[in-house]
Structure 1
Amino acid sequence: MADTTADSPAANCLEKLKSYVKTQKGFILAAEILISFIIIICYAASMYGGYSAVAICEMVFAIVFFGIFMMEMDKQILVVNWVWTDLFRAGIGAVLYIITSLICVIGGAGDGARIAGGVFGLLAGILFAYDAYTIFLQVKSNRQHTTASTDDNV
């Protein structure tokens, strides 16, 4: 008979998911994934579905970073500077969402789904900008904590 009290890999992954979503970074990434999915639905229902490319790409990138940070692979894969990569992802996502959303809101007369996608896109742009700001503060605090050389012979 199988031992049901032992930790299975799926239960371990689910526990990591639950605990990571409770952190600030996990909550922000989960919100980015959710709002990107809502934007994809809005743009898919509109007459101009081409704007959904930004939402699809940003949702995929957010899912990838969520998985990497949740499973703590950023501490194992040291080839990539994950903090800077995440900063560029969030900054570029904020700029792209704001640009495409303004285009959709301004030129979306008569297409309610496009305007709704644009409004949600503006909210996503603000969320991505907030994420970039929190990452920037993290980078700034890491730079201040590095030790400087105290060698007088230099």
Structure 2
Amino acid sequence: MADTNAGGSGANCLEKLKSYVKTQKGVILASEIIISFIIIICYAASLYGGYSAVAICEMVFAMVFFAIFMMDLDKQIQVVNWVWSDLFRAGIGALMYIITSLICVIGGSGDGARIAGGVFGLIAGLLFAYDTYTIFLQVKSTRQHTATSTDDRV
């Protein structure tokens, strides 16, 4: 007899992917991955390919956090504070993209691919900054909920 659950784990992973991409955090992380990939292509076509290191690192980090949040591993692995780790990832990514993109746009005369990578990098910097802002609001709301008084005396 054939096993009816042969593709169960693969289908379960695909369903988790589909449902997570529909959330706000899933859309932001997927957008970060896609725009980082576009920036890697632009910098690879440029005369100065060294700027692609930021895009590669940020794309890999976004993919790791996408997988962790999609598979709900953040709830299973509680050794790491995933919200604060994601906040630092997004904040550092925003700063790095804005700095390197300004350098590329300002000094990229004659190299269209470098300027295009810089412009996409500025857009990525804004996207990462928005992600940082949404994570900060999440941290702020959880701190307000946990800071309520638990004193039973009235």
- The residue number in structure 1 matching 2:112 is 112
Q: Structure 2: give runs of 5+ residues left out of the alignment.
A: none
Instruction: Tell me whether 1:74 sits opposite 2:70 in the alignment.
Output: no
Q: Secondary structure at the match of 1:145?
A: helix
Q: For each residue in 1:66-105, what CA deviation from the matched residue of structure 2 results, as whole angstroms up to 9, or x when unmatched? A: 0000000000000000000000000000000000000000
Residue 8 (structure 1) shift: 1.3
- The residue number in structure 1 matching 2:9 is 9
Separation in 1, partners of 2:2, 2:126: 49
Q: For each residue in 1:116-144, what CA deviation from the matched residue of structure 2 results, as whole angstroms up to 9, or x when unmatched? A: 00000000000000000000000000011
CA-based RMSD of the aligned residues comes to 1.3
Separation in 1, partners of 2:47, 2:6: 52
- The residue number in structure 1 matching 2:23 is 23
- The residue number in structure 1 matching 2:51 is 51
Separation in 2, partners of 1:83, 1:28: 15
- The residue number in structure 2 matching 1:121 is 121
Separation in 1, partners of 2:144, 2:130: 21
Supply the AA of the counterpart residue of 1:15: E
Separation in 1, partners of 2:122, 2:72: 30
Separation in 1, partners of 2:140, 2:36: 28
Separation in 1, partners of 2:108, 2:150: 57
Separation in 1, partners of 2:56, 2:109: 24
Q: Structure 1: give runs of 5+ residues left out of the alignment.
A: none
- The residue number in structure 2 matching 1:38 is 38
Once structures 1 and 2 are overlaid, which stretch shifts more, 47-56 or 2-11? 2-11
Quote the sequence identity (%): 83
Map 1:82-93; keep pairs closer than 5 Å: 82-93=82-93
Residue 148 (structure 1) shift: 2.5
